[in-house]
Structure 1
Amino acid sequence: MTMRDFTSPLWPIRYKPLPDELLTSWLVRLAYGHGLKVQTFCNLIFGNRHQVWNRDVDRLAPEWLVDELSQRTGIPLAVAYGTTLRSYEGRLFPKFKSSGVLLWLQTLKMYHRKREGYGVQFCGACLAEDSLPYFRKAWRVSFNTICIKHNRMLHDRCPQCGVAVMFHRMEMGRGSAFEAGSMATCHECSCDLRESPLSPIISYDTGATAWHARLCRSVVDGVDAGDADVNVGVMRVMHQLSTLLTTRFQNRGLRQYICNQLGAEDIALHPGRMPIETRPLVERHHMMQLVAWLMADLEPRLREAWRAKAVRYNRMTKDFDDAPQFYAEIVEGFSNWRA
């Protein structure tokens, strides 16, 4: 391919986004479809004026990138933007912001071109079933720790060498793009991610697991705005509860209290009040099982936790501005503690 091949309004190869495909996955497929390495392809299209891979482009979704892909593939702009994490605005988080933690979106922890976070998850069985392996948008969602199709845990790193998934770097040091293999290859050790172990879903309580699975299905299949379990208010309350799980009071805490109720063993979390979006999968899944147990019957279970002094009244709304009405009413009901 030469620059002349890319001057026409439409590119020679015009792959459409696959179901729930992530923007960067689509971009990599387009590069390989033209027989080019990813960096070569991006340099030909965008030149040096725009750098793609030194930022979380799935989250930022810059207009110059999405518009170009839309125009050159003949895909409606709305469909192109549907591959970006910004499309979750109003569903998983109230308002998009370009920096800082964004509710329920896994962080990549990028420093230049390096990634220190485990922001891209995957299901090896899904990749194995794909005629051409690709990465899903839902695999960037923090609470989505399971594959509802295969009833298995997701992975957030290479099972062989433990590095974060960076499928766009799979070709590094491997000659031409034709020799690079598929996106289902670890860029560091060449492990075939399709052969990752199929780990059964870790469950502490059948009701909580069912609630969590329904939540995961909503983000995979598309969120129904009329579903009380998946609206933005519920997302915000879940996030507040996940924060409370890392708060301790007088050597007792909500996390340990729920584990005791479920007869489950607590696990060691990274210390401090790290947001759930920066935590590894094993910690997020553990926290989501506990949050799901609360959310499945929120008022009585939160009330009992408060009565057991596992969580303080003033902590329930701490740093939680404009809390959803249903949650505010529940907490307000605890204020008459003498009763």
Structure 2
Amino acid sequence: MSSWLVRIAHANGEKVQSFCHHEFGQKHQIWNRDIDRLAPDWLLTKLCEKTATPIERVRQTTLKRYEGILFDHTALSGVEKWITPLRIYHRTRKSHGLQFCPECLKEGNEPYFRTQWRIAFHTFCPKHNVMMHDRCPCCGEPVVFQRIELGKGNEETACDKPLSTCFNCGFDLADSKPEKAIFWNNDTSARWGQLLSGIQENKLTRYQSEQLAVLHQFVKLLCSKVVSEKLFDFMESKFRMVLERPNFGLRHFEANDIIRRFGIIQCAWWLLSEWPNNLKGAWLDGAVRYNHLLKDFDGMPDWYLREVGNMNINYKRREMLKTLLMNTNTSEKK
């Protein structure tokens, strides 16, 4: 919605703030909130009336379109499940929550920002197979396209500038260098892309919805100070590579930058792959505990609960299973 609203203002030859004051009245504050996530009903209604667009179509321009797909109910405060936070403070943004694909911005006559680019799971563009960006490559500032015109007189507005212009330094974000997305394996790439397509088209199968729920449980564990260190150590020893750790100064997976989220999700995909062998291996090694796998996980799938339920055994029996598995693997190698 935010991208659409700015383009409407510029199409009418007005600055965003002036346009909003004229059309919605000065008593209404719009840009002091995340309108893509928390658009008030009066704004939806006004846009419906002013643009002759059906109300459901207007609502589809907001993140509410993902209610029941990525999250159950819109949270009025805090971080929404699978949605990147903007951390708006006095109309400025304290986090890099709006992502973009430079190749997508080049397409069409006018660049615009897609609603799906706020999905924390959307760390690469499945269309161009390149990494998403979450900041200006020149100055490092977040994307705040409604501020392109601020500080400029009437003789210089942002109406003639593309929405892809960095508000801070003026760099065209569409010219950001594309970087190929590198996956651990082709299976991860394919399944990840299929999930993104299913989310966008609202055509997720039941199993894909359950996969998404389990993946979120895993990324929460991977971002937990209590659990993650052993999990990352286990995977690093298995893959013989150094993995990007989450920023533990942030409470939520969704608040991490793109590079960290991309790596964390790949780890989560690995735990879900070859089900349940990879997760079982991490559990047998002591990298994750039974109670952590169930903690705060509402509505977990039956197939997940069934396998994790088998892990509810004492330490001695777990060590016996670990030894048995090691002996089996040794015999197979011979």
Structure with more helix by fraction? 2
**Which of the residues 310, 317, 320 maps onto 2:297?**
320
Deviations 1:66-96 (A, max 9, x none): 1111111111111110010011000011222
**Does 1:267 pair with 2:244?**
yes
Greater Cα shift, 117-126 or 173-182: 173-182
Q: Indicate which of 306, 309, 320 corresponds to 1:332.
A: 309
**Structure 1 match to 2:260:** 283
Q: Distance in 2 between matches of 1:76 and 1:250?
A: 47
Uncovered stretches (5+) of structure 1, i.e. residues with no partner: 1-22
Say if 1:153 and 1:200, in contact at 8 Å, map to a contact too: yes
Contact 1:212/1:289 (8 A) holds in 2 = no
How far apart, CA to CA, are the structure 2 residues paired with 1:250 and 1:36? Answer: 51
Quote how far apart the aligned CAs of 1:324 are: 3.2
Q: Equivalents in 2 of 1:130, 1:161: separation in Å?
A: 26
Return the letter of the residue paired with 2:157: A
Mapped partners of 2:160, 2:167: distance in 1: 10
Q: 1:76-87 to 2 correspondence within 5 Å? A: 76-87=54-65
Q: CA RMSD in A?
A: 2.0
Cα shift at 1:145: 0.4
8 Å CA contact retained: 1:211, 1:292: no
Paired position in structure 2 for 1:224: 203
What is the TM-score with the length of structure 1 in the denominator?
A: 0.87
> Counterpart of 1:116 in structure 2: which amino acid?
K
Paired residue secondary structure (1:228):
helix
Q: Does 2:154 match 1:158? A: no
Structure 2 counterpart SS, 1:253 = helix
| 1:254 paired residue number | 231
The question of 1:123 aligning with 2:123 is answered: no
Q: Percent identity?
A: 37
- Distance, in Å, in 1 between the alignment partners of 2:135 and 2:34 is 17
Match for 2:89 among 111, 134, 141?
111
Aligned equivalent of 1:188: 168
> Rg bigger for which structure?
2
**71, 79, 84: which one pairs with 1:93?**
71
| Amino acid in structure 2 at the alignment position of 1:205 | N
TM-fit CA distance, 1:256 = 2.9
Paired residue for 2:29?
A: 51
Q: Which runs of 5+ in 2 are unaligned?
A: 322-334
- Kindly provide the amino acid, as one letter, of the partner of residue 231 in structure 2: L
Distance 2:140 2:250 in 1: 24
Number of residue pairs matched? 314
Asked if the contact 2:223/2:253 (under 8 Å) is kept, the reply is: no
Indicate whether 1:245 and 2:222 are aligned: yes
Q: How far 1:173 sits from its partner (Å)?
A: 2.5
Does the aligned pair in 2 maintain the 1:204–1:264 contact within 8 Å?
A: no
Select which of 149, 155, 172 maps to 2:150: 172
What is the alpha-carbon distance in structure 2 between the residues aligned to residue 314 and residue 24 of structure 1? 41
Change (3 A) 1:303 1:130: same
Equivalent position SS for 1:255: helix
| Runs of 4 or more above 6 Å deviation | none
Whether the 8 Å CA contact 2:69–2:199 is kept in 1: the answer is no
Shift in Å at residue 114 of structure 1? Answer: 1.4
